[in-house]
Amino acid sequence: MASNSKSDLTALFALQTQDKQLDQLQQKIDHIPTAIEAIRATLATAKLQLDELHQRFLKVQANKKEKEIEMADKEADIKKHEKELNQIKSNNAYKALMSEIAKAKDAVSVCEDGILNLMEDIDALGEEEKKIKQSLKDLEADCGKKILDLEEQKKGLERDFAAQSEVRRGKTAEIPEEVLQHYENLRKRKHGVAIVAVSGGSCGGCGMTLPQQIIIDVIRAERIVQCESCQRILYKADSHHASPASQNNA
Ligand SMILES: [Zn+2]
């Protein structure tokens, strides 16, 4: 790489700090649609529960209707048999018909019990449905508000991103094009960290102990020096600013 001044490296280091900030903003922006999807999924699940409950309600109502029809049939049978009793001549036939009537009366009684139970179920399900409908209404309002908030947040983050991108452009102005290109390629390959500080004689990226000559070259900053192990650009901050100690205190 061509000769370089200390100020290029200082600018590059500052640029990377700016890029990290932009990356964080981008991550937050990217996360928002996922968060909105999760809220919509919660709402969809709640709606499905209400739907299922309503289906159960309809089914119990249909069962009750069936029982009522069955009971009406049995009652009609009883009436019919009671009329027939008047025309019966033989004792056996009379007994048989009385037994038919008794059976039909038992069946009516069973139907009545069944209908009463189903009516209780209908009441309970109706109450439950009312409650779930109300909580769904609350949930819908809550989710709607959360989604609006997230959409607002996203707009704010996008504005920040645009503003910080402007700041970034300013920071790149002083850096030679080929140095910038080198930095950007390296940053892509090295998970966003292209330039690292030399710290206690080691590479701040991979931690490898650096040969003395490399450290001297880094301090001289006449050319871009890269770590032999991780290939990152090495940088030694002036002791009065941007040292690891002062960064920790920040
Ligand atoms: Zn390294």
Give tens-digit pLDDT for 94-123. Answer: 999 999 999 999 999 999 999 999 999 999
Distance CA 87, CA 59 (A): 43
pLDDT at residue 23 tops 90: yes
pLDDT at residue 220 tops 80: yes
Q: Give the class (CATH, top level) of 25-172.
A: mainly alpha
- Residues with Cβ within 5 Å of ion ligand 1? 203, 205-206, 227, 229-230
Mean pLDDT of 209-222: 93
pLDDT for position 239:
55
The answer for residues whose C-beta is within 8 angstroms of residue 40's C-beta and 6 or more apart is 143, 147
Q: What SS3 class is residue 228?
A: coil
Instruction: For the chain, give every residue range classified as CATH 1.10.287.1490.
Output: 25-172
Instruction: Give the pTM.
Output: 0.73
CA of 239 to the centre of ligand 1 (A): 21
Name residue, tokens 């080691």: 202
Name the more confident of 250 and 135.
135
CA of 192 to the centre of ligand 1 (A): 14
Question: H/E element holding 235?
Answer: strand 233-235
